[in-house]
Structure 1
Amino acid sequence: MYNAFWAPGASRRAAELRDAIAFLQPGGSPGPAGEIYLSWWRSVERPISVKTLHRTWPDMDADHIATWLGAAQRAPVPRAVAVLRAVREDRPRDVAAAVILGNAASAQALGWTHILPLLALGLKRGDSATVWSSSARYVS
């Protein structure tokens, strides 16, 4: 099973994260991996929109999200990479946000209504450096 819910220093399977979230007490902390899981959940449960993505990251300015998604009017892969790069520049430690927003950009370019975690398939612990360096090389 791939681990799309990777977090630094953690090795948890999707079933473990699902159970941890399901039994989370109100006000409780799901931990770093749980936060990533919740981010994916929130971002894919509704059609792609700035409002949906802002709900995923309430601390992120909605105007930034709109700018990131609107700035890359290209084919799906270059568009996703442009968004990865833009988020990387503004939020260098937030790999999950970059990958989810990159998926949102590629889904929009394909005319899809919902995000699919295509860029996260196969990511493993320690892959964040690869994601960042690859996106920097791909878009000039």
Structure 2
Amino acid sequence: MSTPSIRVVVSEDDFDLGTEAAALEAGPDTGAVVTFTGRVRDVADGLRHMQIEHYPGMTDAALTDIAQQAIARWPLSGVTVIHRYGKLRPGDRIMMVATASRHRDAAFESAAFLMDYLKSRAPFWKKEVTNQGEGWVASCDSDEAALDRWGKP
């Protein structure tokens, strides 16, 4: 198996799902690619937008570290983690995780691992701006519980 690729992107710009998935499919060792894309949803019936903030150096390092942990745990040929920041409206893509492996189990499990980490530990701060005002989004107990299954990274 060749050296796994890691692609981490933190950007205000949108991304193309097909292009990102195709890049992981190109490897000769790849038998499975799993992708997950998160979108901004209007859970408050009146979300105008979500404002996502981060510290660039810290965020890139943290996402690269968790991608390296996934590669150490599973036989992966590639990992892609994309997360947007800035002003995002309901329906906008907010993030993508994609993993590639010879076999589907490793691709599915590693993608779930990365998603659980992103929901609870990635250094992003999210503020919802609604018709009723604005407020910072707190982490959920269910996100913490999901991370427990992996032995907190």
For CA contacts below 8 A with separation 6 or more, give which structure has more relative contact order. 2
TM-score (ref. length: structure 1): 0.28
- Scaled by the length of structure 2, the TM-score of the pair is 0.26
Structure in which a larger fraction of residues adopt strand: 2
Q: Which has the larger radius of gyration?
A: 2
Higher helix share: 1
